[in-house]
């Protein structure tokens, strides 16, 4: 269960009795690690984006459930399970859009149910083991995503990506970032266009930081520069991650993803979504049913402590948007490349995992 990372840093590690995460709100200027000892601390870390990225949130939440579970004093299964359900709902409230969070917690709930005859202390161990399994699986999944994405990257590729989908957002390698990382190892990457991803600047702060560490050639741009680059023929493909994929392929991801999908479509540029299977939510027919988290206005009006807008104004700050399936060229998953018809092909692909979901 090696969690060491080629990048020389660990975004999430389990250390015997607590979770240790890199606090992403301090990047890129400072590399600070934080220990999380309680469910509440994990909730706060997810809410305030110390831990972020759909897969990383799922992993952290799974450990977060264990951190709460180990302190439960109930001895009967029913009352123990009731407490666990309460912890689960609490953790789910930290980021409503990312389905991996729900997926990871549901998987633990299903596993507990399957062992309801066991002692409470054993159940607690099972929760921790399941969290660790989710963690390990994610690393393998991310590696597969990167390898499976190689075929869609042309030589001398100019790749545009959005937000952060790297090792920081996952256990290792990342999702969209994993494709870039693996393509770079094969000398296929000419340059990566990293958009800054306002308001929280995950591109400028985190993706730029990871690419620099990996010595992958890149240039930072503002989010508004994407269309101009495409118009000039400077983008060969766009690869983004996903927070939730509906059964028909509609995809929720960081705000601005939809802009890029429309722009790519207008310029006949391939637009790919890279994601592990836990991001696919077959219970949701299409994107209209995906809840969109609206975040604090201060994310837009302040950068750090600096006010960049007049005081007391109205702000609209949705954290995600939904890209309709017809704008997506393909999904790069751990199980291979998925092309349209998504309604048919996403269902087939994830059917083996459906039993793990609620």
The footprint of its own copies on this chain (CB under 8 A) covers a number of residues equal to 52
Task: Show the binding pattern over residues 250-279: x = contacts its own copies (CB under 8 A), - = does not.
Answer: -----xx-xx--xx-xx-------------
Subset of residues 319 to 338 that bind its own copies, contact rule: CB under 8 A: 321-322
> Is residue 243 among the annotated active site residues?
yes
Residue number with CB closer to its own copies (76 or 310) = 310
| 12 phi and psi angles, rounded to 5 deg | -140, 125
Q: Does 309 bind its own copies (CB under 8 A)?
A: yes
> In terms of CB distance, is 40 or 96 closer to its own copies?
96
Q: Is residue 300 part of the contact set for its own copies (CB under 8 A)?
A: yes
Residue 286 as a binder of its own copies (CB under 8 A): the answer is no
Question: Using the rule CB under 8 A, is 233 a contact of its own copies?
Answer: no
Q: Is 228 a binder of its own copies (CB under 8 A)?
A: yes
Q: How far is CA 129 from CA 7, 36, 114, 222, in A?
A: 26, 18, 14, 42
What tokens does 31 get? Answer: 């590399």
Nearer Cβ to its own copies (289/303)? 303
CB half-sphere exposure, 131, CA atoms < 13 A: 29
Q: How many whole angstroms separate alpha carbon 74 and alpha carbon 88?
A: 17
Give the shortest CB-157-to-its own copies separation in angstroms: 17
The answer to whether 277 touches 334, Cβ cutoff 8 Å, is yes
Q: Is 325 helix (H, G, I), strand (E, B) or coil?
A: helix
Across the strands, what pairs with 193? 160, 219
As a whole number of angstroms, the distance between CA 175 and CA 105 comes to 21
> Which tokens sit at 247?
């059964």
197 near its own copies (CB under 8 A): yes
Catalytic residue among 138, 195, 236, 243: 243
User: Which residues have CB under 8 Å from 85's CB, separation 6+?
Assistant: 109
Residue 218 binding its own copies, by CB under 8 A:
yes
Q: Are 237 and 270 in contact (CB under 8 A)?
A: yes
Where in 71-110 is the site for its own copies (CB under 8 A)?
none
- Which residues are at the interface with its own copies (CB under 8 A)? 28-29, 193, 196-199, 201, 204-205, 208-209, 212, 217-229, 231, 255-256, 258-259, 262-263, 265-266, 300-301, 303-304, 306-310, 313-318, 321-322
């Amino acid at each position: 269960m090696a969690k060491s990372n080629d990048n020389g840093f660990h975004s999430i590690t389990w250390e015997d009795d607590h979770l240790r995460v890199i606090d992403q709100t301090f990047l890129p200027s400072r590399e600070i690690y934080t220990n999380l000892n309680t469910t509440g601390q994990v909730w706060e870390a997810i809410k305030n984006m110390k831990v972020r990225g759909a897969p990383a949130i799922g992993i952290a939440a799974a450990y977060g459930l264990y951190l709460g579970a180990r302190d439960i004093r109930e001895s009967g299964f029913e009352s123990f399970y009731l407490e666990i359900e309460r912890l689960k709902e609490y953790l789910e409230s930290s980021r409503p859009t990312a389905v991996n969070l729900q997926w990871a917690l549901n998987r633990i709930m299903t596993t507990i149910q399957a062992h309801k005859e066991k002692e409470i202390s054993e159940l607690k161990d099972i929760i921790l083991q399941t969290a660790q399994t989710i963690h390990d699986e994610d690393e393998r999944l991310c590696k597969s995503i990167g390898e499976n994405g190689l075929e869609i990257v042309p030589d001398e590729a100019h790749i545009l990506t959005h937000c952060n989908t790297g090792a920081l957002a996952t256990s290792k390698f990342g999702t969209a970032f994993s494709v870039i990382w693996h393509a770079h190892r094969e000398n296929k990457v000419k340059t990566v266009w990293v958009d800054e991803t306002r308001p929280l600047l995950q591109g400028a702060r985190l993706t730029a930081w990871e690419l620099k560490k990996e010595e992958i050639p890149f240039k930072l741009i503002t989010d508004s520069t994407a269309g101009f680059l495409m118009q000039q023929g400077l983008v060969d493909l766009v690869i983004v991650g996903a927070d939730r994929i509906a059964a028909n392929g509609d995809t929720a991801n960081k705000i601005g993803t939809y802009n890029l999908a429309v722009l790519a479509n207008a310029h006949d540029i391939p637009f790919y979504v890279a994601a592990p299977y836990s991001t696919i939510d077959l219970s949701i027919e299409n994107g209209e049913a995906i809840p969109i988290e609206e975040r604090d206005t201060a994310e837009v009006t302040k950068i750090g402590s600096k006010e960049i807008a007049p005081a007391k104004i109205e702000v609209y700050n949705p954290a995600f948007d939904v890209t309709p399936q017809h704008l997506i060229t393909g999904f790069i998953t751990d199980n291979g490349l998925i092309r349209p018809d998504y309604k048919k092909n996403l269902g087939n692909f994830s059917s083996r995992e459906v039993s793990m979901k609620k």
